[in-house]
Amino acid sequence: MGIFFALGKHLYPHKPEFEGYKLPASLPISKIYRILPSNYMPIIKSAIKKMHQDRARTQNNEKTRAAYKKAVKTMRSKPGLETLKAAFSAIDTAAKKHVIHKNKAARLKSHLSRLTIKTTAPKTAAA
């Protein structure tokens, strides 16, 4: 398996000289779609577009997921009001983009709030 170019309904290997295939010399670059891995190669143009959209959305979701996890980890290691605000913002963004469920977002915010209260509350002497 290699990497293939998609041109309409035809597949062309990424390195034509190795496979014995040759791309037509008159083929404009604009007619060749993006390079796609050969383990999943849709033939229909709309399916190719859908695959690209899914990849882009997956990358965006991973960025959002990493941002909220990093914010939560930072909050747990250094509890404070500033880190709490950053964590809430990241969690709300992840919930808004449906990366995490809204109830999970609420649960995380509740846990982090309790952690902040526990660590920043003034300690009174036991009587």
What is the tally of structural domains in the chain?
A: 2
pLDDT over 70 for what percent of the chain?
Answer: 65
**pLDDT tens by residue, 18-40:** 445 555 666 555 555 554 455 56
Sign of CA pseudo-dihedral 75, 79, 80, 84: positive
Domain assignment present for residue 113? The answer is yes
Quick one: 37 and 60 in the same domain? no
Burial class from Cβ neighbours inside 10 Å (0-12, 13-18, 19+) for residue 18 reads exposed
Distance CA 60, CA 97 (A): 10
**pLDDT tens by residue, 88-121:** 999 999 999 999 999 999 999 999 999 998 888 7
Helix (H) or strand (E) holding 66: helix 45-77
Domain assignment present for residue 125? The answer is no
Quick one: 59 and 26 in the same domain? no
Predicted TM-score (pTM) of this structure: 0.63
Domain assignment present for residue 10? The answer is yes
**pLDDT tens by residue, 51-61:** 899 999 999 99
